[in-house]
Structure 1
Amino acid sequence: MKLLVKAPAKINLSLDVLGKRSDGYHEVEMVMTTVDLADRIELTLLPTKAIKIQSYSRFVPEDHRNLAYQAAKLLQDMFDVKQGVQISIRKLIPVAAGLAGGSSDAAATLRGLNQLWGLGLSLDELATIGAKIGSDVSFCVYGGTALATGRGEKIQHLPAPPHCWVILAKPTIGVSTADVYRNFELNKANRPDVQAMVSAIETGRFDDVCQHVGNALESVTLQMHPEVAHLKDQMKRFGADAVLMSGSGPTVFGLVKHDSRMQRIYNGLRGFCDQVFAVQMLGETHTID
């Protein structure tokens, strides 16, 4: 038996860091939404308990370091599953980009194996399991749009944001999330109004969404990697309605209302950035098949 599952990327429309917790994680408050740039996960049932990863990217580990592997192993151990799985990952989401590609792969694996192994778990149960793997996995289990708090595992669902294009551009660098948080200083951060973003989404006003985008981690990454600041400036110059770095970076996204302007920005960025995507927000949460 085989099963194909999509693993969509996410962007942070608003990301605030409230402080460091006693467990070593940071307390966050952020609004995230999935976009239609997705990895493809193929799950093939194996008769033994083996878990095998097949990747078509040299940047993706094929052992226990892979979050999809960890998701499969966790489910297998928790529910004493006697079968195994081969997980083939076709990457379309850039690696180490601030787009939760690895977390989304893990979440897609949880959803797919729930079906393939006949576990009968709800999305809420899968999201709780996902929190054991990584901070973004719970959100990625659900997809759609949400306010995430705690270390990112507490999810409050929100309506779909107003329709627009999202231009994603990733410079040819990777960013270590751990390094960004290590250099983060709460008293120096430019902190966004997350609740204002929640209200903007709930009222469906595109201009308000654009006005309230913000990322408390952005100044840290911009200082570490000036090319991210340059990319932001270029996207603004080309006419995006709002521009922000996603997560800990280095991917920068622009929100664009009009098709013609989207095409102009996309073409302009392609001139000096290899990884550029024009996508839309997905809006709807995943369902259990």
Structure 2
Amino acid sequence: MEISLNAYGKINLGLDVVRKREDGYHEVKMIMQTVQLYDRLTFCDTKEGSIVIESNSDVLPATEDNIIYKACELVRSTYGITRGVKVSLDKRIPVAAGMAGGSTDAAAAFVAMNKLFDLGLTEGELMKLGVRIGADVPYCIMQGTALSEGIGEILTGIAPMPDCYIAIAKPPVSVSTKWVYQNLKASELERHPDIDGMVAALERGDLRGVTDRMENVLETVTIPEYPEIEQIKNIMIDKGAMNALMSGSGPTVFGVFEDKDMAQEAVCCLTDMKLVQQACVVMPYNRER
């Protein structure tokens, strides 16, 4: 049996860190949005009791350290599966970019394993498994527009982002999420995004109300280290973006546009200036339920 899935990336329309908990984790409040940029994964069950990963990316391990491997092995060990699985990954989402590229691949692995071995698990059950691999994995299983709280595992579906065009631009640097959070001084943050106001704007279908509230407190760590992020944001706004923001822990920047041609022009400009390693224009993605 063979199953092929699209594993969609995400952006953070707003990202706030409420506090650092005693257990070392950071409590967040953020709005996640799936976008139409995806990795393509194909899963096949095999008689051999091993997990084999093939990828077009030379920067991702094809070993037990790979998050896809970890997700497949967690399902196998939890449900006593002895058959193996072969995974082919066509990587399109930027790596180490703040777009949940690894988490969404793991999410696809949970969904595929459920189907391959006819486990009959609900989405909620898959999400509970997913959080054992990473805080973003449950959201990547859920997809769409969501309010994310706790360490990212408390998810509430909210009204979808209105149609628009999103320019995605990743500069030629990679950022460690762990490093960003280690260097964030949560207790010293002077500003906090208006997440509740953004939720209300989404309920109204008010795109301007969303973009006016776009803010990410992790920029206070990442931008001083990588000032090109701020440069990309400013160029997107100069080219007509309603607003631009770093996604997650970065370094990917996204700009929200009402006009597709303006979004494409921004991407072309950034590419010509050699400020980006990967860039494209996508739309929000919300699957039917």
Please report the TM-score for the alignment, with normalisation by the length of structure 1: 0.96
Correspondence for 2:165: 165
1:55 Cα shift?
1.4
Measure the CA separation in 2 of the matches of 1:195 and 1:141: 24
Measure the CA separation in 2 of the matches of 1:23 and 1:86: 37
Correspondence for 2:98: 98
Correspondence for 2:239: 238
Correspondence for 1:276: 279
Correspondence for 2:85: 85
Correspondence for 2:52: 52
Measure the CA separation in 2 of the matches of 1:269 and 1:172: 12
Matches within 5 A, 1:89-128: 89-128=89-128
Unmatched 5+ stretches in structure 2:
none
Kindly indicate whether the alpha-carbon contact (under 8 Å) linking 2:235 and 2:266 is maintained by their aligned counterparts in 1: no
Kindly indicate whether the alpha-carbon contact (under 8 Å) linking 1:189 and 1:219 is maintained by their aligned counterparts in 2: no
Secondary structure of 2:238's aligned partner? helix
Kindly indicate whether the alpha-carbon contact (under 8 Å) linking 1:190 and 1:215 is maintained by their aligned counterparts in 2: no
Matches within 5 A, 1:1-289: 1-186=1-186, 187-272=188-273, 273-284=276-287
**Partner amino acid for 1:147?**
L
Measure the CA separation in 2 of the matches of 1:51 and 1:20: 37
Measure the CA separation in 1 of the matches of 2:268 and 2:44: 39
**Partner amino acid for 2:255?**
G
Identity of aligned residues (%): 41
Further displaced range: 169-178 or 219-228 = 219-228
Kindly indicate whether the alpha-carbon contact (under 8 Å) linking 1:191 and 1:216 is maintained by their aligned counterparts in 2: yes
Measure the CA separation in 1 of the matches of 2:246 and 2:122: 33
1:178 Cα shift?
0.9
**Partner amino acid for 2:40?**
R
1:264 Cα shift?
2.1
Measure the CA separation in 2 of the matches of 1:216 and 1:172: 22
**Partner amino acid for 1:191?**
H
Kindly indicate whether the alpha-carbon contact (under 8 Å) linking 1:107 and 1:141 is maintained by their aligned counterparts in 2: yes
Measure the CA separation in 2 of the matches of 1:216 and 1:135: 18
Measure the CA separation in 1 of the matches of 2:67 and 2:160: 27
Kindly indicate whether the alpha-carbon contact (under 8 Å) linking 2:167 and 2:264 is maintained by their aligned counterparts in 1: no
Further displaced range: 264-273 or 246-255 = 264-273
Measure the CA separation in 2 of the matches of 1:46 and 1:191: 50
Measure the CA separation in 1 of the matches of 2:31 and 2:3: 30
**Partner amino acid for 1:74?**
L
1:189 Cα shift?
4.8
Kindly indicate whether the alpha-carbon contact (under 8 Å) linking 1:232 and 1:244 is maintained by their aligned counterparts in 2: yes
With over 3 angstroms needed to count, the CA separation of the structure-2 counterparts of 1:5 and 1:189, relative to structure 1, is farther
1:260 Cα shift?
2.8
